Amino acid sequence: MIISGSADGLGLQAAQELIAGGHEVVLHARSEPRGREALGAAPGARGVVIGDLASIEATRELARQANQMGPYDAVIHNAGVGYRSPGRVETVDGLSQLFAVNVLAPYLLTALIEPPGRLIYLSSGMHQMGNPGLEDLQWQGRPWDGPQAYADSKLLDVVLAFAVARHWPRVLSNAVEPGWVATKMGGPDAPGDLSQGAATQVWLATSQAPEATVSGRCFHHLQPQATHPATADHCLQDDLLRRCAELSATRLPSAAAPARAVRPEPVLGEG
């Protein structure tokens, strides 16, 4: 397994649970100091890859590192940024940082990392408030609204997961709403339990239960969730893939086959 954004929060929690369950896990951090911290917090991890997902070039390098350590049974696209910044933050590529990290980076990693058996994309219940329009993805033509930009990005994460599920039928691709939990993004007052927030990612990455071996679904606490109606729009799915391909100069390969089948292993907490 490889988990983006696993130096802390939900990504680290999922990594620790997977390692405890006997799975090989590759961590990811945006810098070498953060990578050393991640390895210290998740003893038993196979290794760590380094790359700042706010940069297209660094994300490409991250994918190269990941492929050197692969292939993988599952890739968990956990990394993300929130909306607490007082204004629009622009990346080195001239993109909205929120869009670059939350949407474009998982797209690019999906396109560049050898296809696994399973893909898990982290969304949010806030995706239900997202605007599916793609006309101003970078928030250059409207006043910045952090919560709305975040909701939009989380909606597009579900759209991306469902688009990949449709285009790659031999790979299980799903989205997860982990709930409001006490991470750096969620804040210390979040009511949700961190371990419960990571449980669904672990389950989707490893379980052989029929409920987990599906594709094109969204889950919250191991239960399927209804999603914004736009997530089922094939035209929107393909438009998002096209826009991401244009921005990253990388197309999603067609009809990908997983690098290997997911092994039937016991799952932590599964009876």
Q: What CATH number is associated with residue 28?
A: 3.40.50.720
Tokens of 159: 């759209």
268 assigned to some structural domain: no
pLDDT reported for residue 265: 40
Contact 134, 241 (CB under 8 A): no
- Quote the distance between the C-alpha of residue 198 and its chain's center: 12
Answer whether the bond into residue 71 is a cis peptide, omega within 30°. yes
Low-confidence ranges of the chain (pLDDT < 70): 179-195, 256, 259-271
What's the start-to-end Cα distance of the chain, in Å? 22
271 assigned to some structural domain: no
Tokens 């590192």 locate to 65
Provide DSSP, 228-249.
Answer: -GGGG-HHHHHHHHHHHHHHHT
Q: In 10 A of CB 57, how many CB atoms? A: 11
pTM over 0.85: yes
- The yes-or-no answer on residue 154 being catalytic is yes
253 assigned to some structural domain: no
48 assigned to some structural domain: yes
> What is the number of structural domains in the chain?
1
Catalytic residue, candidates 72, 107, 121, 154: 154
* Structural domain for 226, as ranges: 2-248
8 assigned to some structural domain: yes
264 assigned to some structural domain: no
150 assigned to some structural domain: yes
pLDDT reported for residue 195: 61
Catalytic residue, candidates 72, 107, 121, 150: 150
pLDDT tens-place string over residues 194-229: 668 899 999 999 999 999 999 999 999 999 999 999
CA distances from 182 to 1, 105, 198, 250 (A): 24, 24, 12, 35
- The yes-or-no answer on residue 107 being catalytic is no
How far, in Å, CA of 5 to CA of 53, rounded?
A: 9
